Every structure is written in structure tokens, then in C-alpha cells.
Amino acid sequence: MKAVLIEENYVDKDYRSTYYNFYSKKGLRYRTDCVRLHFFDGTVRFDRKTLRLVSSVDQRLTDHYFGYMVLRPTGIVTIGRTVLSPDVRSGARGRIITANHKVHVLGYKLEVEGFPSMDQHHDIAVCAHVACWSVLRHYSEAYSIYREFLTYDITMMAQEFDPGGLVPSKGLQLSHAERVFQEAGTFPVLIARRKDVRTDASFYRQLLAYVESGFPLFAAMQSKQHAVAIIGYEWRAPLVTTVRGMRYAWDEVESFAVVDDNTLPYLSIPIKGGVPYSAEDVDSFIVALPEKVFYPADAVDRVAPTLFKLRHLVDLPAKDGVVIRYFMTTGSGFRQFVRSRESEFDPKLLETIMSLPFAQFIWIVEFATKSQWAVGQVAARAVIDATASLMDVMPLWLMHGYKKALVFSRRSLDFRSGGRDLQLSDMGHKGYTRMEQNLRSTRAK
């Protein structure tokens, strides 16, 4: 990042929402407008005479644009709505949930891929409000079914009734954050870490699974009384030593990326022992799910290792040293992924995947050997119905390895007579590509 364009007198809708409902009611006079900073690389310059942005390389300004930051006229904690590309944030690493944000300046329409962040206002919004706002602003940019909520809306949505005197000086409880997500039209699930075990590995496996599914998480830390949004992760370098037993994708995570209202976005936090905190300080999180997700990650976490009971029907790798990874996606997202790599799949298997009447949301379970994990490949994959019931004995649509596939059409409650197998031909590869569709890799610039 080499150039900053300063846009004065910028009308920021988020600040205005707090101005109209809070700052304008105070004795101290506040300005109504903000300043917005736009960030570019060194090839873009501003021509004052013509008010044009000129690139010395080409006219695709978006390719040289890294996002914006609003500065509020509030005197303290002035960083307002910000969307920065993770590529220009020092220390941002790994894979991050982003959406495409459109930006209008000087008659140009620019775009930036990033995740929204801002400082908390202190007086009208605290860390929990900001974490909710970040997640919901991402949703409104990424998915057309969600509307946009401004800072003041979030503050009001947290309360059952207008408490008057909007100062949230009594703080916020997790139930308030849950309420915000409900009011926004999502179906929030609050998942808390067990206190009776030293390490609740299942809790962290689920946390990773939801992030890998593209859901930014509202994460709370009881010890810090703090809330952030978890929006990405980084894999650790592949292990060179031999590992016994089953491993999970969670065991391969080096760090998480968070949006914290006390720092610039994309803060990287380690699994343990980090300053100001680490992933092990997170003891609960809220995932704002869409409708029609009935089969929880807790169930997938338990069913995934049980799938080895079907090894006589589908070729799975050895349990010892296997890495299990699970996440949620849409049926159409899965088909799109398979279509983009159709040479990896037996034509009959591809036809089956394209023809199965998947529900809108499905859980994918991937099984990889240690060497496959290191190169981003998997040996086998299972597709679980995300609309299945907890009591469902056979929640599978499909499971396949290299040689065999097991298929269920889920058209009948009698799964015993509804199973089909399929012999697969050798497609001449040593692993299917790991499905990593939902997050964007950071490319440092």
C-alpha cells in the first residue's frame, strides 16, 4: 500500500445512524460528516485539476485498490466502518472469510474483498455490538437474503425494549448478542465449552468447522469479558513425525484470524499462550446459521469416526494417522466444486453427485492420509444431510473413496433397502483435491 486518497465530508451511514439517535442529543456539538481514507498501491495518483484517479499501469483501478477506513468526528475511538483487503494487513495470514464490497468515490465504482471492522464507540456500542455488526454487515454483503443493519440498529436490536439513554454502560450479555442475530433473521446457535473436562476438543473442532463453512463466529472470552469475530484460520506446517490414532483438522491449525474492535482487522491469534489472548481463551461462540440446518456439528463430530464401520463398503484410509475434516456447504456449492475438478471423478460418480437430490445444506466429511493432508488432498469423502434428525440412523447421502461409493437417495425412511453401491474406475490420481471453497487465501502484497 503506497497511496492514500482522503475523501472529506463523507456521509457515513453507520456514523449517521448514531449521530441522529445519540450524538445530536448531547450538549457537546458533533459534526455530521466523516473523513474516509482510500488505500491504493503506488501506481495510482490523484489529479487535482481533473479530480481523476490515474493508474500508470492500466485503467482497472479496482486491481490497485485495497479498501477504505472511515474516521468519525467523535474525538475518541475514531476508526469507523473499515473494509481492508487482508493482503495489505501486516500479520494477516491463512484463509479468511471475505465478501466483495462495492465502493463509490469520485464517480468511480471500486471493489474490495474484505471483512468489515470498526472501533467500538464506547458510549453507544461496546465490543459485543461491534462483533455483531461485523458479522451482519458481512452477511448483507455476501448474501442477498440479509438486509443491512447500521450501528444504531444493532444497539437497539440487543434490547427487548428501548431502554432509553442508550448508554450501554451496564455491558452486554451473550443472550443480547444472540437476540441481535435472531432479530436479523438468522438462526443463532450458542455453543459453550464444557467446564468439566481439561480440553473440550469437540468444542474447538466445531468452532473450526463453522469457520471453514464460511460462517464468521461471534466468539466470547469469559476470562477477558471480551467478544470478537473469528473470521479465518491458518494451517500449521505439515508434521514430519509419525502420528498414532485419528487426527482432526483442528489439530492442524496454527492460528485464527479475528476482527477485534481494539485492533486493526485480521489479528492473528495462536491456539494457546498468545497476547492479548489466544484461541483457548474462547469459551463460547454464536454461529448465525441459515434456516434448514437441523443436524448440528456435535452430531457430525460423533458420526464422522463411526463412518469407519462402513469400511467394508467404501475404501477408507487406515484409521491410524488419518486426518478427519468436516464443514458445511450447499448442495450446489459441492456440485460446483466437483464440476470444476471433474477429471478427478469417475463419470458414474460425477453423474450420481449431479443427480442426488441434496438438501440445500450438507455436511462434508473428508478423510486424508498424513501425506495427502500435506499436499491438500483427500482419500475419501462423505456427504451428510444437514437437515437430518438427531435420531437418523443413516444421515448419509453419499460416501466414496477411489474404488467404491455408497449412495442413498433418502427417498424412503427404510434406509436398509435404499443403499446402492458403485464400483469406481481408476482415475489415475493419488488423491482428490481438498474442498476449500468458502474462504479466501491471503496473498501478502
Partner 1 sequence: MDKKETDVFDVVEGLRSVDPDALEDFERVMTDEVIPEIVQTVEERRMLAAEYRELQLKP
Q: Which of 417, 426, 428, 443 binds partner 1 (CB under 8 A)?
A: 417
321: which 3 cell numbers? Answer: 494417522
- DSSP string for residues in 130-162: HHHHHHHHHHHHH-TTSPP--HHHHHHHTSSS-
348 binds partner 1 (CB under 8 A): yes
CB 272 within 8 A of CB 280: yes
> What is the footprint of partner 1 within residues 212-241 (CB under 8 A)?
220, 222, 224-227
| Min CB(14)–partner 1 separation in Å | 20
Residues 100 and 337: their CA atoms lie apart, in Å, by 20
Taking alpha carbons only, the member of 20, 445, 91 closest to residue 266 is 91
Helix, strand, or coil here: 98? coil
In the complex with partner 1, the residue whose CB is nearer, 269 or 314, is 314
171 binds partner 1 (CB under 8 A): yes
Q: Binding residues for partner 1, how many (CB under 8 A)?
A: 60
Taking alpha carbons only, the member of 445, 372, 438, 444 closest to residue 210 is 438
Residues 95 and 236: their CA atoms lie apart, in Å, by 12
100 binds partner 1 (CB under 8 A): no
137: which 3 cell numbers? Answer: 454487515
Q: Which of 3, 105, 106, 191 binds partner 1 (CB under 8 A)?
A: 191
Q: Which of 105, 142, 193, 427 binds partner 1 (CB under 8 A)?
A: 193
DSSP state of 183: H
124 binds partner 1 (CB under 8 A): no
The piece of 21-29, 53-61, 330-338, 410-418 that touches partner 1 (CB under 8 A) is: 410-418
Beta-ladder partners of 422: 405
| Min CB(73)–partner 1 separation in Å | 23
443 binds partner 1 (CB under 8 A): no
342 binds partner 1 (CB under 8 A): no
**Greatest distance between any 2 Cα atoms in the chain:** 77
Q: Which residues bind partner 1 (CB under 8 A)?
A: 126-128, 168-175, 177-178, 190-195, 202, 220, 222, 224-227, 283-284, 296, 298-299, 302-303, 306, 309-310, 312-313, 348, 351-352, 355-357, 390-391, 393-394, 406-407, 409, 411, 415-417, 419-423
